[in-house]
Structure 1
């Protein structure tokens, strides 16, 4: 078990007692099945809770006129806050503030994005595992919208 032709990644993923760390976060059901929530690297700590961005994204996508959404975390006024980028459905012109207001009825207050910006497309990169959305680039875009200098850590 492990990563093909990548012993370093295999050694990092398998613990001393033989457990394989997938990097996935989920819950275990009573019947023993696993419910996938998010990748560990994608989870955001908001209001003291570990939150899967996909949870917020699904609620945004359920709003009229929204085709797709992505959520990232940024520092805003000294607190980690969710911010969102969304793509409108063709011909739709949804209002960002109206979407955020609707989310207040459907999400805990700490999960409601502080800002929402409309984009034509999300920044992506093609890799051996398919096309992936560049969350780091979205974070940089959010920082630029907020007038912050993106961190290069």
Structure 2
């Protein structure tokens, strides 16, 4: 076993312990087998967003991240602005940012319009509302400062590709 494998296992153990302590209510509501997968997905999503959007002159903060099925919503704050990103896990297990929005991503209709199955959309919206309750008031308000809906990647259900705003 090489050093990378050992460190990865240690990190997973630490992440699992932290998540179980910090999210005991959420973790208790999910089957035990899904908790490690959810924690790994949250870590991968944070890593993707940090790698893509973090800048030394304007640091990115990613919180909260909620995952249901193959979809996730991540709240983000960068400087004086914030928003939410909708992500989808592809068939190879990689996460892609589909779109960014503000308040609209808190509700199931935009999620369904963006191709999220109805049950996942409802579960995501509920999980996000619960996760955002734990954020400080000013921080939670920043997540809704993003205006409009901007599609980032992937194919939307209406057949449009690439970057465009709504």
Q: TM-score, normalised by structure 2?
A: 0.31
Q: Which has the larger radius of gyration?
A: 1
Higher strand share: 1
- Tell me the TM-score normalised to structure 1 length: 0.33
